[in-house]
Amino acid sequence: MALGNGDQGPSLPVRRSGRVRKRPSNHSENADYETKPSTRSPVSGETRRNAKRKAAPEVFDVPDNLLEASLGPWGENEQSEWPSWIELESDPAFFTAILGLLGVKGARIEEVLSVDEDSLAALPPPVYGLVFLYEYVSEESVEAAETTRDVWFANQTTQNACATIALLNIIMNAEGLGLGEKLRQFKQESKDLSPPLRGNMINDSDWIRVAHNSFARRLDLLNAALALQNDVDDRKKRARTSTTRQKKKKVKREKVKKDKSSGNSAYHFIAFVPVGQQVWQLDGLTSTPVFVGEYEKDQHWTSVVRPVIQERMMRYETERLSFSLLALCGDNLTHVRQKLATNVRSLVDLEAQFGGNGSGSGSSNPDWHSKTKGDIICNPTDNRLLAYQLDAQDIHDVAPDSEANPSQPPQDSPELTVEAALELWEKLGDEQKRILAEYDRELKMGGQEATTILGRTRDYTAAVHEWVKRLADRGHDRTRCSTKSRDRHSEQYKTKKNPPSDDDMSKRSSAAAANGAASKDASPPTTDKQKVLLSTDTGHFSLVRAMHLADLITEMNGLCGILSLFSSMRYCLGEPTQHGNLWAALLFLPFGLFFDFLDGKVARWRKKSSMMGQELDSLADLISFGVSPAAVAFAIGMRTPLDHLCLAFFVLCGLTRLARFNVTASSIPTDASGKARYFEGTPIPTTLGLDALMGWWVSNGWIHDALPGGVCFAGSAFEVHPVVVLFMVHGCLMTSRTIHIPKP
């Protein structure tokens, strides 16, 4: 919409407020003109006609579904668009990977487990610097005692970037460290900048931030951005309430100190690096580097920094702070590769001098090749060198000298005889084997680091989120089904509360009779009463109070079965000729049958039965008439692996038969009294027939090696006693659907 402005020509573009700017006047500032007095006198307390508008809030592109956008997979180049820096874990594998992403060559990060001379001396040379991690405690700043002109130092100007700042403070000061093109250009451009500007340059370098965040997940970046936003909001809030805080200055200071001490610990990375013959502490939160000390040429620089780190750790020993120390040192693989190249070059020179290819004495010594045969790499064109990232040019570039083997004379020395050369060859061969083994160990360590890095870079958040969504959808469907079922049960309960008609009473009576007295199903009110008592009474002995007399008798049936099991075990541990425990195991089973008959009689007499009693009866029968007979069979000699499988089959058949009985008891035809007319399959107490048979064998001494039928396939994997087939046949009879045994 265009707005006209009379004689002033076309209007200017519309501002955010929607009002047109007044066009500037066409007269010159130096022109003479008469100023008209203002018709309105300024009043100090005058209020504006329209309230001053607030600045429009910043507009963000907010996704429609924040949850899906937060937990979904990464988009293309999405990670490089985040301005946040995440907190880094003090893991050498992660730091080594970041070094590679930054463009550092021939270096790696090693973890130092102990700050002592031996641990620091065991680090792969050269050691370019140390990265020290500790729980940050504010200290008085120490100014540099020496000039820092030759020290490259950057301040930390953004949150959570201290790890990368510490690494760069070491990398930029390291001598002989291979740098990529981006790092060399970065070092050249930041050469003349101040530490704060260098830190700001690091913050503005997207490729450095992407390397720092290479192990970040989207939730990590969101948390980092949220923490930064919370800090900004807190500062704004403190600025608005600064007047109130000044009035209660002392009280607030004490409260702030208390809050800081009780808050979450913040960890901070600092660097220790040698520059020339001096050692410096580079902390991105201090204004200047801190001079640590000097070291001699014959002294390792870590001996200067070791007391400083130990003193810092001991200073906060009472507060039990956490510390970690990492070392930026040479890649041991590169060092081992150089040793291998030197070793192969020495062997090549020996072969050239004594192998007949040169002018040495090898031409007159035909035994040289026979004595130097083996798997040693002694040829620069050997294809095995490719596995160690070496080629013929790398071998020829090694300077032939005796420094690799200081204990041996130079190979071109006139005093080196053929015998000495053969001895040197053997030593170089042994050394090569050690070098190759060391290379393999380093490769395995690198493989473990690669596994760690791969596990950290794989983000399963999107998959887990999708899986949880599917589970939630399934749960919602089940909730709807359970709601329908609950409504159906509620309708049944309402029907039960209303007085039923005569037809309903006759149907319920016939259904109760169909359940049968043998299954101990009583009237529904008795079952409901026990169920309510078991679910609502939470006392220590509520279970005992809820049990009926018939249930206690069923427990005695289970007790007989358990005592039979223990008696069989005691017999197996004792002398085979002492049959007392074996007879006890056999005799407990008839007592179990007695209690099994008695509990049914008592339940019908007292007219109290329950689902709990039915379950107890099945479990007790399984122990007394299923597991216990199998244990007795094991005790008398059925102990081969195939015997075990047959006995296990017998027990599982009994288990299946009892479970089927609990499910189908109400469907079996009943007589006029409501008692089931027959058993479907042989009842499990009929296993007492096997118990009686085993008692006869014991009385005649037909046990162990004298079992009837002997043993088949003795000494083989299929060794079995034929009599165990009786247990399998009985198990099949118990699970039969066609065998109907009338009830007495």
Residues marked as catalytic: 162, 268
CB 674 within 8 A of CB 516: yes
Instruction: Fill in the DSSP letter of residue 405.
Output: S
Collapsing DSSP to helix, strand or coil, 129 comes out as: strand
Beta bridge partners of 165: none
Instruction: Fill in the DSSP letter of residue 453.
Output: H
CB 135 within 8 A of CB 266: yes
CB 582 within 8 A of CB 567: yes
- 589: how many CB neighbours lie within 10 A of its CB? 25
**Residue appearing with tokens 């990265």:** 131
CB 335 within 8 A of CB 397: no
What tokens appear for 707 in the block?
């079992």
Q: Is 348 exposed, middle or buried (0-12, 13-18, 19+ CB in 10 A)?
A: buried
Beta bridge partners of 273: 280
Amino acid at 559: L
Measuring CA to CA, which residue among 274, 312, 311, 281 is closest to residue 296?
274
- Whole-number Cα distances in Å, 381 to 145, 251, 350, 396, 727: 56, 80, 16, 11, 74
Collapsing DSSP to helix, strand or coil, 361 comes out as: helix
**How many residues belong to the chain?**
744
Strand extents, DSSP E, 525-643:
none
- How far apart are alpha carbons 343 and 386 in whole angstroms? 16
CB 205 within 8 A of CB 157: no
Q: 39: left (phi > 0), else alpha (psi -120 to 50), else beta?
A: alpha
What number of CA atoms fall less than 13 Å from residue 202's CA on the CB side? 32
Q: Which residues contact 301 (CB under 8 A, 6 or more apart)?
A: 127, 274, 279, 295
Cis before 500? omega within 30:
no
